[in-house]
């Protein structure tokens, strides 16, 4: 039956959205990849992850309304938002991070998205509407809907779902500064997206972000401690909550320009360990993202008091250069970034995003990054990121795209409930909890194409040979990968091996 394995957040599709947008600007289509098509599909993925009542302009037609009573057991409306990867649970931590990344992509690169900008903004709002519901009560943040163990014991469409829809929250007595901090960051970043598009909504987002941040800062603690049985091992925060507090303060500083947030960042830089693990970035570790985000002001000559963050960002960039010996960053024989841990593609997408963002900031300031006897120019950073993105799109030893629906050869059997089960239109009768087992176990392609989903990638245990590839992978919102979600399909764990062993990746 459905495995009880880790999920990966809905965040990385967001990272790829940014990568495609910038590559569209930096590298017009000649004979290579169609980044515009890849961008369109990476944004479309999020429509396949929607929970709640679907809008008339829903483009993924095999989905229907679902989970319309979410939150009712707790007396609150928690309908909407995004399902996590291939599951039917709504995890607030990775969902908020996905939202922050989508908002960052629109803020920095929306001008390059063309007609897809409208859909990217919609993807942000679908999530922020939910996050506003989840933070509607002062001193409370609803951080999860659905029991992961109950969900993993069933294989059923979200439209048929009858698993436990337990509501989990943090409050003054049960803190969760990590998830609350990320939620504040998401709301603050999104307030910038809507500043000119919908000023009233923007103010609502910013005011809520401030309130949630104050709650996170005043009642410090990890949600993994408060809600350990519910969130671990799925989205257990092993990195601590300190980085989320700085991350949220950085976005609130950017969104509000209030002096208090600048002072908070400077005062807490050491206390909250801004320089720790500078080459990590993902739903659980914001350090590299904090440094890159804040460094923009330094590079533009507006904030010398943040100079140490730029030094950290430079160190991060240098650690990613090929040929540099670094214990936490390596490259596969095929040229893919490899980092220890599960679901490698989430690292590829998030780090590529930061490479492109920083290259953009360097270009505008006419700077380079000094790395000992060599230097990293904006052009070099774009080249490194482009190589990673192209690998995902098919320039790899397998000759296969890691994005569902892109190119002629891509994964067709992914670990995703809605994609792997017949649609309601094709099979109107309910498919119960255990009745879906046959679809889970079948070797046949999924009947519904989750366009834009990005699978997890090479088997972590086989580095440096990368001898196996997850062909049945989860769709995740964070990185759209097998374990969770980079381009939107980063959801789950490996089930079947493809291609055969000894294939070089």
Query: Using one digit for the tens of pLDDT, what is the confidence trace for 283-308?
Result: 999 999 999 999 999 999 988 899 99
Query: In this predicted structure, what is the pLDDT of residue 9?
Result: 29
- Confidence band, pLDDT 50/70/90 cuts, at residue 325: low
If 0-12 CB within 10 Å is exposed, 13-18 middle and 19+ buried, where does residue 30 land?
Answer: exposed
- Decide which of 475 and 57 is more confident: 57
- How would DSSP label each residue in 247-287? HHHHHHHHHH--HHHHHHHHHHTTTTTTTTTTT--BTTB-H
| Alpha-carbon gap, residue 17 to 113, rounded angstroms | 9
Q: Which of 347, 415, 476, 479 is catalytic?
A: 415
pLDDT at 42 over 50: yes
- Confidence band, pLDDT 50/70/90 cuts, at residue 498: very low
pLDDT, average across residues 269-293: 86
Query: In this predicted structure, what is the pLDDT of residue 488?
Result: 26
pLDDT at 497 over 80: no
Name the CA dihedral angle for 483, 487, 488, 489, rounded to a multiple of 10 degrees. Answer: -40
Percent of the chain with pLDDT over 70: 83
If you average pLDDT over every residue of the chain, what do you get? 85
| Alpha-carbon gap, residue 341 to 320, rounded angstroms | 17
Predicted structure pTM score: 0.90
Computed over its alpha carbons, how large is the radius of gyration of the chain? 21
Are the beta carbons of 459 and 471 closer than 8 angstroms?
A: no
What does the block give as tokens for 357? 């963002």
Q: How many CA atoms lie within 13 A of 137 on its CB side?
A: 15
Helix axes 177-193, 92-109, angle to 10 degrees: 30
| Alpha-carbon gap, residue 284 to 238, rounded angstroms | 7
pLDDT, average across residues 53-63: 98
Are the beta carbons of 84 and 11 closer than 8 angstroms?
A: no
Least confident residue range of 11-20, 75-84, 395-404, 408-417? 11-20
Contacts made by residues 31-37, CB under 8 angstroms, sequence distance 24+: 32/390, 33/389, 33/390, 33/393, 33/394, 33/395, 35/389, 36/114, 36/116, 37/406
β-bridge partners, 76: none
Architecture of domain 35-462: Alpha/alpha barrel (1.50)
CB atoms within 10 A of CB 53: 13
Q: Which of 116, 140, 127, 143 is nearest to 237 (CA)?
A: 143
- Confidence band, pLDDT 50/70/90 cuts, at residue 25: low
- Confidence band, pLDDT 50/70/90 cuts, at residue 476: low
Buried b (16+ CB within 10 A) or exposed e, 192-204: bbbbeeeeebbeb
Query: In this predicted structure, what is the pLDDT of residue 21?
Result: 61
415 has catalytic annotation: yes
| Alpha-carbon gap, residue 145 to 151, rounded angstroms | 11
Q: What is the DSSP letter of 340?
A: S
């Amino acid at each position: 039956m459905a495995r009880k394995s880790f999920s990966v957040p809905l965040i990385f599709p967001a990272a790829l959205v940014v990568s495609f947008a910038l590559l569209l600007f930096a590298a017009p289509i000649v004979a290579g990849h169609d980044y515009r098509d890849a961008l369109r599909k990476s944004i479309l993925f999020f429509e396949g992850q929607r929970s709640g009542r679907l809008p008339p302009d829903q483009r993924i037609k095999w989905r229907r309304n679902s989970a319309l009573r979410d939150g009712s057991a707790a007396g609150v409306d928690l309908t909407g938002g995004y399902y996590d990867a291939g599951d039917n649970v709504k995890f607030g931590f990775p969902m908020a991070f996905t939202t922050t990344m989508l908002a960052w992509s629109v803020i920095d690169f929306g001008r390059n998205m063309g007609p897809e900008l409208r859909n990217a903004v919609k993807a942000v709002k679908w999530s922020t509407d939910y996050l506003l519901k989840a933070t509607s009560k002062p001193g409370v943040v609803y951080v999860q809907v659905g029991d992961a163990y109950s969900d993993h014991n069933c294989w059923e469409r979200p439209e048929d779902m009858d698993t436990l829809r337990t509501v989990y929250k943090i409050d003054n007595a049960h803190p969760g500064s990590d998830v609350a901090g990320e939620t504040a960051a998401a709301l603050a970043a999104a307030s910038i997206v809507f500043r000119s598009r919908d000023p009233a909504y923007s103010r609502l987002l910013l005011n809520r972000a401030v309130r949630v941040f104050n709650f996170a800062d005043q009642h410090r603690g990890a949600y993994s401690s408060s809600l350990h049985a519910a969130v671990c091992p799925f989205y257990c925060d092993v990195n601590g909550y300190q980085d989320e507090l700085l991350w949220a303060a950085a976005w609130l500083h950017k969104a509000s320009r209030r002096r208090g947030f600048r002072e908070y960042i400077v005062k807490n830089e050491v206390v909250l360990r801004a320089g720790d693990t500078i080459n990590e970035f993902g739903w659980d570790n914001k350090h590299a993202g904090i440094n890159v985000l804040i460094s923009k002001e330094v590079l533009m000559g507006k904030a010398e008091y943040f100079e140490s963050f730029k030094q950290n960002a430079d160190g991060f960039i240098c650690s990613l250069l090929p040929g540099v010996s670094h214990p936490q960053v390596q490259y596969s024989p095929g040229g893919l970034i490899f980092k220890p841990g599960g679901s490698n593609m989430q690292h590829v997408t998030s780090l590529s995003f930061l490479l492109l963002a920083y290259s953009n900031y360097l270009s505008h300031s006419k700077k380079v990054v000094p790395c000992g006897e060599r230097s990293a120019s904006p052009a070099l950073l774009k080249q490194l990121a482009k190589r990673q993105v192209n690998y995902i799109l098919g320039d790899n030893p397998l000759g296969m795209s890691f994005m569902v629906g892109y190119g002629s050869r891509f994964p067709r059997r992914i670990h995703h409930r809605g994609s792997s089960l017949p649609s309601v239109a094709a099979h109107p009768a309910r498919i119960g909890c255990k009745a879906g087992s046959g679809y889970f176990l079948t070797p046949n392609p999924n009947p519904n194409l989750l366009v834009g989903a990005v699978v997890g990638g090479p088997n972590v245990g086989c580095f440096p040979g990368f001898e196996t590839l997850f062909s049945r992978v989860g769709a995740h919102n964070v990185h759209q990968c097998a374990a969770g979600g980079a381009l939107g399909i980063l959801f789950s764990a490996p089930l079947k091996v493809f291609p055969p062993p000894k294939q070089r990746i």
